[in-house]
Chains A and B, each alone.
Chain A
């Protein structure tokens, strides 16, 4: 009798397990096809010359080419430069906005919604909108600056001296609301009592910020910085639309250069893709991002010990 009951339960369990596996299969198949297969595929062509139709084994030639490819290494440098500019502006701005919006001021929810708004727009479309804004002859930015009394239009997108500022403006515009929101979420954890106590002790706003908000935010700050750094290294969609890496590769970042290798540069008159070489560069780029991530975590931990 009991034996029969356990048998039924076992049968039920087996059925449930099959159901579970069936229910999990769509996401597992998509993971295999969309993530794991491309990841392995990338290594297959590292030592090949492959243009999309024919592949020839070239041994270490891709590797030696990479060593001497100054355009690639400058693009790596530009990636670091871009990440630095983006972080220097976006993190303080996001933090200040979060602190101010945490005050009891009228309209905070409207401000918050407005600051977050750019993040729902595709970076390809924001890139395009900013090409119109930054256009030298008929762009609205130069139009306003000229109306305010500037003599000559600034070549925002066509001069190597200004292009990085244009790229940074777009990056900050498109992302600060997101990081602001992370900070606000983090701040909600800090209890009201701590602020009350500080108030009673006679701390002013700036003291409260440096002595209470910032130290208590430091775990969140660490996570947000991590996300911001890795995010900045992977950005290329908006830059691709805004400047195509130009002028003269001045705004060429690592992942944009890799895109041009794998799919050919230019939207209309394409160059021949060099997929094998691009695959090698992708591996190197992933390693660079990995090293930066690990280095950042080491530094963050060291700072923790000091404080």
Chain B
């Protein structure tokens, strides 16, 4: 590194500086919408409705958040979002690592066929039509008064990628480990809990992040399920409903605060784990 910098000519340095500047501009453009919404959430509604080119608020109105939190039910929405994403994460972690282990280690007739169906449905996408029968099913089972169907459907639609990731990882674990455990008297399930799960930690981290994000960001499916149930809405639905029902002279300050509440927690998680997020996203897509 030091060496290559030493050989750099003046012209090369200038080119590098231009490239760096362009990348900085792109970075500012990328980050701008988020900064705009977060800073805007402290503006007064009047200031937001007048508009202009000012990014910083002239006066800081922290009460926008109080208004969103209590007046616009954002406390409930936030709670629902947390419940949905944490449950989606935990269930996905548990069932997809188990399935990955079984697909990798067990032998029974039809295994490859089942695996093939999983992979096939990763590619078959019929859009929103698939939510309709699930909604009718949940209503018939009287499950639509809770967050349960939203959680289970989110798990069900995301699980294929996670199973795929776990299977790939278990495949790379030497079989001698399981065999040693078997000789020591572990059953198939005990081998999974005691031997495989501890080794799976890196891929579990990836699955945890991806499934948490999936649960947190889910929109159309919970929108359909909570159409008539305000108190079950997650943040994504709540904040968009506020916008739809508010009309023209809506409370922009509350909507900005709401959007910030929906975005900032995810961003904090991203800042902490950004390397894992990036490696996880490519692993899922490139292999899938």
Contacts and interface: CB of A to CB of B under 8 A. Distances in A.
Q: State whether these chains interact.
A: yes
Interface of A: 15-17, 19-21, 23-24, 26-28, 30-31, 33-39, 41-42, 52, 97, 100-101, 103-107, 110-126, 128-133, 135, 137-140, 142-144, 146-147, 173, 177-178, 181-182, 185, 205, 223, 227, 230, 234, 236-237, 240-241, 255, 258-259, 262-263, 267-268, 275, 278-279, 282-283, 285-286, 289
B40 A111 contact: no
B74 to A, nearest CB: 13
5 contacts: A24-B99, A30-B152, A38-B134, A42-B130, A283-B126
Interface string B126-140: 111111111011000
Contacts of B131: 38, 262-263
B139 to A, nearest CB: 10
A33 B128 contact: no
A24 B53 contact: no
Contacts of A234: 125, 127
Given A39-B124, A116-B274, A286-B124, A125 B241 contact: no
Given A104-B4, A185-B282, A185-B286, A129 B102 contact: no
B151 to A, nearest CB: 11
B183 to A, nearest CB: 12
Tell me if A's interface is mostly helix, strand, loop or mixed. Answer: helix
Contacts of B103: 24
Given A33-B137, A105-B19, A143-B52, 8 more contacts: A19-B188, A27-B95, A33-B134, A103-B16, A132-B36, A138-B48, A138-B252, A258-B129
B26 interface: yes
Interface residues of B, number: 99
Contacts of B163: 27
Tell me if B's interface is mostly helix, strand, loop or mixed. Answer: helix
Highest count of chain B CB atoms <10 Å: which of A16, A118, A130: A16
A117 B31 contact: yes
B180 interface: no
B75 interface: no
Contacts of B271: 113
Interface stretch (B168-176, B200-208, B261-269): B261-269
Interface in B209-237: 213, 216-220, 223-224, 235-237
Interface in B69-127: 95-96, 98-99, 101-103, 105-106, 108, 114, 117-118, 121, 124-127
Contact of A123 (B31, B219, B259): B219
B188 A34 contact: no
B212 to A, nearest CB: 10
Contacts of B240: 124, 128, 241, 267
A19 B187 contact: yes
Contacts of A26: 95, 98-99
Contacts of A115: 26-27, 30
Contacts of B241: 267
Given A124-B240, A181-B281, A223-B286, A39 B270 contact: no
Interface in B140-186: 152-153, 155-157, 159-160, 163
B251 interface: no
Contacts of A178: 281, 285
Closest CB pairs A-B (n = 9): A138-B51, A34-B156, A122-B217, A38-B130, A124-B219, A30-B156, A20-B106, A267-B244, A41-B133
B50 interface: yes
Interface string B30-61: 11011011001000000011111111000000
B187 A15 contact: yes
A118 B30 contact: yes
B188 A15 contact: yes
B156 A122 contact: no
Given A105-B20, A117-B270, A282-B127, A140 B285 contact: no
B270 A128 contact: no
Contacts of B52: 138, 143, 147
A21 B125 CA distance: 27
Nearest to B220: A237
Contacts of B157: 34-35
A236 B53 contact: no
B130 A23 contact: no
Contacts of B213: 120
Given A27-B163, A128-B259, A282-B127, A143 B53 contact: yes
Nearest to B219: A124
Contacts of A121: 34, 217, 263, 266-267
Contacts of B105: 20
A125 B263 contact: yes
Given A132-B256, A259-B220, A267-B244, A19 B128 contact: no
Contacts of A258: 127-129
A23 B126 contact: no
Contacts of A262: 128-129, 131-132
Highest count of chain A CB atoms <10 Å: which of B48, B132, B134: B132
